[in-house]
Amino acid sequence: MKTISKIRYSRRTMLKAGGAAVAASALPAPMVWGQETRDITLRQFGTGVSNLNEVAQKVREDLGFTLEMTALDSDSVTQRAATQPDSFDIADIEYWICKKIWPTGNLQAMDTSKIANYDRIVGIFRDGKLTPESVIAQGTAPHTVGFVDGPGGTSFAGEETGWMTLIPTIYNADTLGIRPDLIDRPINNWHELLNAEFRGKASILDISSIGIMDMAMVCESLGEITYGDKGNMTREEIDRTIEIFTDAKKAGQFRAFWKTFDESVNLMASGEVVIQSMWSPAITAVRARGIPCVYQPLEEGYRSWGGGIGLSASLSGMELDAAYDYINWYLSGWVGGFLMRQGYYSAVPETSKLFMSENEWGYWFEGKPATDTITSPFGDPLAEAGAVRDGGSFFDRMGAVACWNAVMDENQYMVRKWNEFIAA
Amino acid sequence: MTDQAMPPTAAPEPGAIPVHGDRARHLSGWLLAAPLASVLAVFLVLPVVMIVIVSFWGATEFSIYPDFRWDNYEFLLTSEVTYRVFLNTFKYAAITWAFTLVIGFTIAYFLAFHIRTLGWQVALFLLCTIPFWTSNIIRMISWIPFLGRNGLANSTLVSWGVVDEPLEWLLFSDFSVILAFVHLYTLFMVVPIFNTMMRIDRSLLEAASDAGASGWQTLWHIVIPLTKPGIMIGTIFVVTLVMGDFITVRFMSGSQSANVGRLISNDIGLLQYPSASATAVVLLVTVLMVIGILLRFVDIRKEL
């Protein structure tokens, strides 16, 4: 494991050994790229969804430097980005986390003129609109925390400024996952999560900032609460929401709560739970085990999230250049294709298309029936020929977003209420 | 002890030159204690002091700042949730303690008094430790598929006709939490009890038997009083481990129950370090009080 400081040291010793010490100290000439990139290590951390070893391997092949990946849960990611700025070079975080982290000054803004595919990034991340007619959903929409005024900007800008906080990498529209073999009727609304029919067989995720949004979707669907903004609730709204769910918990509605991706997969696959909040690749993972599982589109719409990579404020020089190379490579298609074949969306779908078969592109992006078996990038069959993606095409799904994952002004209050809910 | 070391005649007068031998003895005592003292100071006392200090600090969404405020304690001690969670923590500790004590004592008794040769005693004792060759978490998580709705336990019970429907309360309940605790921590009871039992003079048991005591009388009047220090050490292990735990409760209750450890871990996850510290301080004080009470019953130093 080579850290950057060690590389600098080795560079110096190497030069001295070569007898060029005098020259090097007199005129610090630009370094030779080819040799140096081999020694560069960028340390990336983030949630498990996109921190995949395959990506690190491909970086090594295509770009020549080493990418070290650490996968953590959302809470740990936030914690690390906020408290250990020197422990990473690249933070792979969600937009709502960015809202929390940016004020710490641990990340640096990125110059969009250095991003080759900037103009082809999906509108959601630039002006907030998927199509010119789109209505912007509630919550922390990515474009609202996507830009700052300048390289040292500390507050978010309302429009595209050329200085981006995060380069979008993946995003998706989340809904409830169900086991169609164990529920023999159609499920069309969020309020089914609290239906007494599923007592002891429901689950919700125990990550407060996301869980509260799922709760809000349910409460609104029940007709119990009408929110001003689900992504920024008032104390009364929070109290009422938590109260409804605490009553349900006491009545034994929930089998368990989950905090990590794997837990949600196991709960669903083992049949402990038949309806729960879930993430798209978790559905894929359940299906890969040969167990039917549907990512049920619901009338009220989706709860959406987006992730992006941010650069550590301490990155500079050669490592910073390498990080830009990495970002440009990230948007150039291979990763996008890799992620889209798992059910996520990439920031620049056009380039991802180049790395997907026509069948895959049709199934995952266009919502067309599969013409052949769809397999995951890891080789597991996910869908038979003729199957259609749950929720349909990209525009059907991302166009029906009801709210974005968010951090509220009353976040601390909400967290306390959430703790009470868990302890109830 | 210093009195014995210094003969009265050698007691230095104020201003007199101390006797050389005493001084060296004094110094070497300090030197011998220094490594342990400094390790404890750096790795135990200092962190605890830090926690106490931070518990008075303030926090925002993403940072903590030095301050002196009682808010963290005020919120903690006025919240009904805190009391409920502490009560739950005590409940887990008490029930786990009762089970580990009965099981641990029985195992230790069997090993110490029913197994005749030392070789077998050691072999069987090592057998007890085999599950500890894997990690805590693995031992705990392996219960989940076993106890689940379609797990081994339920399918067996259903196929035997004991129950008609799978038992829901086997997993993600207080039952599963306590089961995992008992499984994880019984050995901490076995070891100290076994250790003290091995040191009981066997002639005492013979004397009791000669005096006409029944098996139960021997157990109650001889064995249990003599193993008290072992029981107390085991108790301290189990109670502190259970009260400080958070991961077992999280996994085995399916995140549905809370104990104090989980409150702290949630706070840490949400970057609320001062609030987590305050909870930790309250927990530390509580556990110290519990141990203080326990030590009232048995003077471990004297008995060992």
**Segment B54-80, tens digit of pLDDT:** 999 988 766 778 989 888 899 889 888
Task: Determine the residue type at A284.
Answer: T
CA A330 to chain centre: 14
Given this model, what pLDDT does residue A17 score? 40
Q: How confident is the model at residue A3 (pLDDT cuts 50, 70, 90)?
A: very low
3-class state of residue A315 by DSSP: coil
Q: Are B243 and B287 in contact (CB under 8 A)?
A: yes
**Segment A8-53, tens digit of pLDDT:** 444 444 444 444 433 344 344 344 445 556 678 899 998 767 778 8
Task: Determine the residue type at A409.
Answer: D
Backbone angles phi, psi at B175, to 5 degrees: -55, -50
Given this model, what pLDDT does residue A284 score? 82
From CA B1, how far away is CA B29, in angstroms rounded? Answer: 12
* Binary contact (A257, B272; C-beta < 8 A): no
| Residues in chain A whose Cβ is within 8 Å of chain B | 75-76, 78-79, 82-83, 100-101, 103-104, 200, 203, 206, 208, 249, 254-259, 266-267, 270-272, 407, 411-412, 415-416, 419-420, 422-424
Question: Who contacts A125 (Cβ-Cβ below 8 Å, separation ≥6)?
Answer: A142, A143, A146, A168, A306, A308, A347
From CA A70, how far away is CA A300, in angstroms rounded? Answer: 35
Q: In the predicted model, what is the mean pLDDT of chain B?
A: 87
Question: Who contacts B270 (Cβ-Cβ below 8 Å, separation ≥6)?
Answer: A75, A78, A208, A415
Given this model, what pLDDT does residue A37 score? 63
A62-76, A383-397, B278-292, range with the lowest pLDDT? A62-76
| Ordered mean pLDDT values, 10 residues apiece, chain B (304 residues) | 43 50 80 94 95 90 82 88 92 96 95 90 89 84 88 90 88 93 93 92 91 91 92 94 92 89 85 89 94 85 66
End-to-end CA distance of chain B: 19
Q: How confident is the model at residue A393 (pLDDT cuts 50, 70, 90)?
A: very high
Looking at the DSSP assignment, which residues form a beta bridge with residue A202? A254, A275
- State the alpha helices, DSSP H only, in A158-228: 208-222
CA A183 to chain centre: 29
Q: Which of B286, B263, B285, B287 is nearest to B276 (CA)?
A: B263
Given this model, what pLDDT does residue B296 score? 87
E strand or H helix at A22, and its extent? Answer: helix A21-26
**Segment A214-249, tens digit of pLDDT:** 999 999 999 999 999 998 999 999 999 999 999 999
Residue B155, chain A, CB below 8 Å: the answer is no
Q: Which of B62, B171, B258 sits opposite A104 (nearest CB)?
A: B62
Maximum alpha-carbon separation in chain A:
80
From CA A241, how far away is CA A211, in angstroms rounded? Answer: 11
- Overall pTM surpassing 0.80 (yes/no): no
Distances (CA, A) of A283 to A163, A185, A261, B251: 36, 19, 10, 21
* Binary contact (B172, A255; C-beta < 8 A): yes
β-pair type (A381-383, A163-164):
unpaired
Q: How confident is the model at residue A86 (pLDDT cuts 50, 70, 90)?
A: confident
* Binary contact (B271, A79; C-beta < 8 A): yes
Q: Which of B150, B255, B271 sits opposite A256 (nearest CB)?
A: B255
3-class state of residue A73 by DSSP: coil
* Binary contact (A271, B270; C-beta < 8 A): no
- State the alpha helices, DSSP H only, in chain B: 2-5, 20-40, 46-54, 71-78, 80-109, 118-129, 136-141, 143-147, 152-160, 174-198, 202-210, 215-218, 224-244, 247-252, 260-269, 273-297, 300-303
Per-residue pLDDT averaged across A120-125, rounded?
91
**Segment A174-189, tens digit of pLDDT:** 999 999 999 989 999 9
Looking at the DSSP assignment, which residues form a beta bridge with residue A401? A302
Task: Determine the residue type at B272.
Answer: Q
From CA B44, how far away is CA A62, in angstroms rounded? Answer: 48
A214: how many CB neighbours lie within 10 A of its CB?
24
From CA B304, how far away is CA B299, in angstroms rounded? Answer: 9
Q: Which two tokens stand for residue B123?
A: 């072999």
Q: Which two tokens stand for residue A129?
A: 């609109």
Q: Are B168 and A200 in contact (CB under 8 A)?
A: yes
Given a cut of 90, whether residue A77 has pLDDT beyond it is: no
Q: Are A99 and A140 in contact (CB under 8 A)?
A: yes
E strand or H helix at A254, and its extent? Answer: strand A254-258
Per-residue pLDDT averaged across A344-354, rounded?
92
Q: Which residues of B touch A145 (CB under 8 A)?
A: none
Given a cut of 90, whether residue A357 has pLDDT beyond it is: yes
Q: Which residues of B touch A416 (CB under 8 A)?
A: 75, 79
Distances (CA, A) of B232 to A96, B178, B183, B228, B298: 50, 20, 19, 6, 7
From CA A272, how far away is CA B254, in angstroms rounded? Answer: 11
Q: Which two tokens stand for residue A413?
A: 């209050």
* Binary contact (B269, A249; C-beta < 8 A): no
Return the HEC string of B117-184.
CHHHHHHHHHHHHHHHHCCHHHHHHCHHHHHCCCCHHHHHHHHHCCCCCCCHHHCCCHHHHHHHHHHH
Q: In the predicted model, what is the mean pLDDT of chain A?
A: 86
Q: Are B230 and B190 in contact (CB under 8 A)?
A: no
What residue has token string 């609109």? A129
Q: Which two tokens stand for residue B111?
A: 């090993």
Query: Rounded to the nearest 5 degrees, what angle is found at the Cα of A335, between the Cα atoms of A330 and A341?
Result: 150
**Segment A275-285, tens digit of pLDDT:** 999 988 788 88
Q: How confident is the model at residue A328 (pLDDT cuts 50, 70, 90)?
A: very high
Looking at the DSSP assignment, which residues form a beta bridge with residue A168? A308
**Segment A280-313, tens digit of pLDDT:** 878 888 988 889 999 999 999 999 999 999 999 9
* Binary contact (A206, B172; C-beta < 8 A): no
Burial class (CB in 10 A: 0-12, 13-18, 19+), A388: middle
* Binary contact (B150, A103; C-beta < 8 A): no
**Segment A394-403, tens digit of pLDDT:** 999 999 999 9
Q: Are B148 and B171 in contact (CB under 8 A)?
A: yes
